[in-house]
Structure 1
Amino acid sequence: MTTPTSAPATGAGAASHPLPPRRRGAGRARRHEGRSGLAMVLPALVLLVLFLVVPVMLAFGLSFTNARLISPNPPRFVGLDNFVRAFTADPVFLRSTVNTFVFALVVVPVQAGLGLLLAVLVNQKIRGVTAFRVIYFIPVVTSIVVVSILWKFMYQENGLVNSFIDTLTFGAWQGTAWLNDPSTALGAIIVLSIWQAVGFHMLIWLSGLQTIPEELYEAARMDGATPWQQFTNVTWPGLRSTMVFVLVTITIAALGLFVQVDVMTQGGPVNSTSTLVYHAVRKGYREMETGYGATISLIFFVLVLVIALVQRFLTRDKD
């Protein structure tokens, strides 16, 4: 006698099959990892919003007002008046823009090229090369304020720079106050800035050099390549990504020149060393024109963003 088999249950009353324990455990693990990742990212995200996003939004809003740092009158919306003032009625802004671009146009190629040259030299396997790496890097870890004060004394009429030139010229050099002459003040700051930061970019280039396999150089030497051919065909192609990083970082730092100017010249003489960042700080805090200072800062932000995007486009991987 056979027992009847029951038909499978269908419809709403059918019991659903529970998930296997292994799958339920994997789902809980993924949710736990997601919460853990969010908890680790949250502090950095909060700081990024507070110190980057919020200030940029406030500057954007203030740039369309006549807000002052200390004023009994509330801020008033003035539209594009601050932007029109910057480009038509503020010669110091235009001079600061020119000074900023001149500084960047000189510092970026010279500092990058000198850093690469030093990196190639200290990458040689010779005795004492570690000491030279430390010597070149010492200015980087020294406070830029301290460095600026020291070089300010060195640039004086009776300072070390003039004494050194006087010795080389056997007394023919009459000496000059480098920071008090509009024709030499910006150049003096350029020399200081290159000397102070070249060690950092030397290390960046050096790290890129040490990622290039030695087998490529051995193959090039076996093919009879000269040292220059080894550099152009092996070293330089292997440094492409390093080159992009170095150019972008030097450009952003050069456009943001402030400390050297504030410590050594305060924008003078005759605004020959004033930069966009220094002019924005001077207008926004020292002259208390917060709205106009925010306008200059916003213009500077857009300029840096455009230049960085252009650099990235020109140095992109064509493949």
Structure 2
Amino acid sequence: MAKAEKKKLSGRKRDERVAAYIFVAPAVILLIAFLVVPMIYTVYFSGFKYQIMRPDAMKFIGLENYQKLFSDKNFWLALKNTVYFTVIVVPCQCVLALALALLVSKKFRGVAVFRTMYFAPQLTSMVVISVLWSVLYNANPNTGLINSILVSLGMSPIKFLSDASTAMNSIIFMSAWQGAGYQMMIFLAGLQGIPRDQYEAASVDGATKFKQFLYITIPGLKGTIKYVIMITMIQAMKLFTQPYIMTQGGPKNSTKTLVYYIYTQGFQKGNFGYACSIAAVFFVIVVCMSMAMKKVTAATD
């Protein structure tokens, strides 16, 4: 009797395992088809001198593309711009998202409207957002809304996107505004997971709102904060649409990022093999930064 029951249980576990594999299979197939295979082809083509316009002239050159890459000033400039954008936008966007989450976590009339308003930019295409902000940032006071307001207040117009000293910072401001809504919803979910009785007990003990935030909210959101920082950093490293639409990598290459440089080399200049070598190095950089961030956040536990 015990053997029959044991056999029945093992058969049930086998069926559950098969069912699990069936459900996971589509995701695994898509992952392999759209991530693993392109990565393999990227590394493969990085060893060739391959121009899209002349596929018949494909020539194996080994590591020459990588040697050229590490002596390419434009590559280092693009890397510098990408790191600068990431270092500035990640804390700004995360702090803004947390502030918005704290604001809309309160129960008051119309809170759902505010949540929708703050999340709405995330639902809008980045291309549309970039075009909209290009108009807002226009240096001409007659067509640029922000500069028209500044001129009406007696101030000088600012060259938001046409000056190398302000172009990247303008994109950072716009990107933090556009992306904060998504992180806000994640923080909001984390806030709702913190037991309310902790705040009530702290309030009874005379703890101020700031102390409650410091000793209850932040520790309660530790895992959420780590996750938000990680995904924001990865998204920031992939910056492309904003400089492509708003500045075309200018002025003076001040907004040229690694992904934008890959695009220009691969699709505008046709140097597909060289673009693949940049993409391969970019992937390694993102993985290394993610691992470093994971170690840093793990050390805070």
Query: TM > 0.5 between the two?
Result: yes
Q: 1:150, CA displacement in angstroms?
A: 0.9
- In structure 2, how many angstroms separate the alpha carbons of the residues matched to 1:206 and 1:162? 35
1:181 and 2:163 aligned:
yes
- Partner residue in 2 for 1:197: 179
- In structure 2, how many angstroms separate the alpha carbons of the residues matched to 1:96 and 1:188? 17
1:219 and 2:204 aligned:
no
Identity, % of aligned pairs? Answer: 40
Give the secondary-structure state (helix, strand or coil) at the position aligned to 1:66: strand
Number of equivalent positions = 298
- Partner residue in 1 for 2:104: 122
- In structure 2, how many angstroms separate the alpha carbons of the residues matched to 1:135 and 1:293? 39
Gaps (5+ residues) in structure 2? Answer: none
- In structure 1, how many angstroms separate the alpha carbons of the residues matched to 2:5 and 2:187? 50
- In structure 2, how many angstroms separate the alpha carbons of the residues matched to 1:219 and 1:80? 63
Pairing partner for 1:69 from 49, 52, 66: 52
- In structure 2, how many angstroms separate the alpha carbons of the residues matched to 1:72 and 1:234? 61
1:29 and 2:25 aligned:
no
- Partner residue in 2 for 1:254: 236
1:38-82 C-alpha deviation (Å, 9 max, x unpaired): 222222111111111111111111112212222154432222221
What amino acid is aligned across from residue 251 of structure 2 in structure 1? P
Q: 1:166, CA displacement in angstroms?
A: 2.5
- Which of these two proteins has the greater Rg computed from alpha carbons? 1
- Partner residue in 2 for 1:276: 258
Please list, as runs of the form range in 1=range in 2, the aligned pairs for 1:158-169 lying within 5 A after superposition.
Answer: 158=141, 159-167=144-152
Moved over 4 A (4+): 18-21
Q: 1:20, CA displacement in angstroms?
A: 5.0
Check 1:214–1:178 CA distance in 2 against 1; reply closer, same or farther (3 A cut). Answer: same
1:305 and 2:284 aligned:
no
1:207-251 C-alpha deviation (Å, 9 max, x unpaired): 111111011111111111111111111111000000001100110
Q: 1:37, CA displacement in angstroms?
A: 2.1
1:5-45 C-alpha deviation (Å, 9 max, x unpaired): xxxxxxxxxxxxx9954444434333333332222222211
Pairing partner for 1:152 from 114, 134, 151: 134
Pairing partner for 1:84 from 46, 50, 67: 67
- In structure 2, how many angstroms separate the alpha carbons of the residues matched to 1:77 and 1:203? 49
- In structure 2, how many angstroms separate the alpha carbons of the residues matched to 1:21 and 1:124? 57
Q: Which moved more, 1:137-146 or 1:18-27?
A: 18-27
- In structure 2, how many angstroms separate the alpha carbons of the residues matched to 1:95 and 1:255? 14
- In structure 1, how many angstroms separate the alpha carbons of the residues matched to 2:164 and 2:91? 23
Q: TM-score, normalised by structure 1?
A: 0.88
What amino acid is aligned across from residue 154 of structure 1 in structure 2? L
Higher helix share: 2
Give the secondary-structure state (helix, strand or coil) at the position aligned to 1:124: coil
- Partner residue in 2 for 1:140: 122
- In structure 2, how many angstroms separate the alpha carbons of the residues matched to 1:206 and 1:27? 42
Give the secondary-structure state (helix, strand or coil) at the position aligned to 1:79: coil
Gaps (5+ residues) in structure 1? Answer: 1-17
1:286 and 2:296 aligned:
no
Q: 1:178, CA displacement in angstroms?
A: 2.0
- In structure 2, how many angstroms separate the alpha carbons of the residues matched to 1:239 and 1:153? 38
Q: 1:260, CA displacement in angstroms?
A: 0.8
Q: 1:164, CA displacement in angstroms?
A: 2.2
- In structure 1, how many angstroms separate the alpha carbons of the residues matched to 2:256 and 2:48? 24
Q: TM-score, normalised by structure 2?
A: 0.93
